Structure 1
Amino acid sequence: MTTASKSASRALDRELLAVVFAIVAGGFLVFGAGFANSAALHDAGHDSRHSMAFPCH
């Protein structure tokens, strides 16, 4: 394997890791705040979604 292909492979690995992290973090924010039992946490997430024009109901 050449140096260029190793470098490209590492870049792809980093991009994939970033995509997976973004999906997990985004899912936690949307569903964690949306289904939280704590009224304060739910209200904070709910207000944040409205401020970004995210339809939640």
Structure 2
Amino acid sequence: MTTVSSAIGAGVSAQSRNMQLAMAALLGLFFVGILGFSQMEVVHNAAHDYRHSMAFPCH
């Protein structure tokens, strides 16, 4: 019974990791995509400066 419970725990951990990666990717797409094309100049400039600081080509 111990073997079964540890195998189930490993599956939950992998599922949790995949969910975390998916949410991080969505958050990144939100910041780069939505905020980068924002009509508000302050928000756009902040996203633009961040892209440059992370060496993300945008020009």
Give the TM-score normalised by the residue count of structure 2: 0.86
1:18 aligns with 2:20: yes
The alignment yields a C-alpha RMSD, in angstroms, of 1.3
Unaligned runs of 5+ in 2: none
Residue equivalent to 1:29: 31
* Alignment deviations for residues 2-40 of structure 1 (CA, whole Å, 9 cap, x no partner): 112111111011111111111110000100121111111
Structure 1 ranges of 4+ moved more than 6 A: none
Residue equivalent to 2:7: 5
Identical-residue share of aligned pairs (%): 37
In the alignment, the residues of structure 2 paired with residue 11 and residue 20 of structure 1 have an alpha-carbon distance, to the nearest angstrom, of 14
Find 1:46's aligned residue among 41, 45, 48.
48
Give the TM-score normalised by the residue count of structure 1: 0.89
Unaligned runs of 5+ in 1: none
Larger Rg: 2
